[in-house]
Amino acid sequence: MQTNAQANVADSPIESEALKDNQFRVAAVPPGSALLVGDAAVFNVAGGFCATQAKCTHRGGPLSEGKLDGSTVTCPWHGSQYNVCTGAVLRGPATERVKTYRVIVEGEIGRVEKD
Ligand code: FES
């Protein structure tokens, strides 16, 4: 298992305890929930993961604290809705889509891939 920057500690028995900024425990994000991971919001959409930028494009509301219904998140501040897997705006006042990121799951650990 390559762990990029921390490859030199890959054989450490406590390696699985140390999460990087872009990593999360799969068990911490059950279906229908969301988690702030670094500057991304990770969503569990029926067992699969999608991730967006953490902040709403309207005024920066925290999307990981919004209500998730299927793949639709509602910003807790003014109610904008986005598809968390495509980033599309489904309801305003936001007009600009959110960035989306790939989520890779390896065992119990997921990670958000930027770029
Ligand atoms: S900050 Fe999200 S709708 Fe206004």
pLDDT along the chain (115 residues), means of 10: 46 64 96 97 97 98 98 98 98 98 97 90
Structure confidence at residue 24 (pLDDT):
97
Q: Answer whether residue 65 is part of any domain.
A: yes
Residue 25 · residue 19 · CB < 8 Å: yes
| Spacing, Cα 57 to ligand 1 middle (Å) | 7
Q: Answer whether residue 27 is part of any domain.
A: yes
Q: Answer whether residue 68 is part of any domain.
A: yes
Q: Answer whether residue 89 is part of any domain.
A: yes
Query: How far apart, in whole angstroms, are the C-alpha atoms of residue 81 and residue 67?
Result: 10
Residue range of the domain that includes 87: 21-113
Residue 104 · residue 114 · CB < 8 Å: no
Q: Answer whether residue 11 is part of any domain.
A: no
Residues in contact with ligand 1 (CB, 6 Å cut-off): 56, 58-61, 75, 77-80, 93-94
Structure confidence at residue 12 (pLDDT):
45
| Spacing, Cα 11 to ligand 1 middle (Å) | 44
pTM of the model: 0.85
CATH number, position 67: 2.102.10.10
Structure confidence at residue 18 (pLDDT):
87
Q: Answer whether residue 43 is part of any domain.
A: yes
The number of distinct structural domains making up the chain is: 1
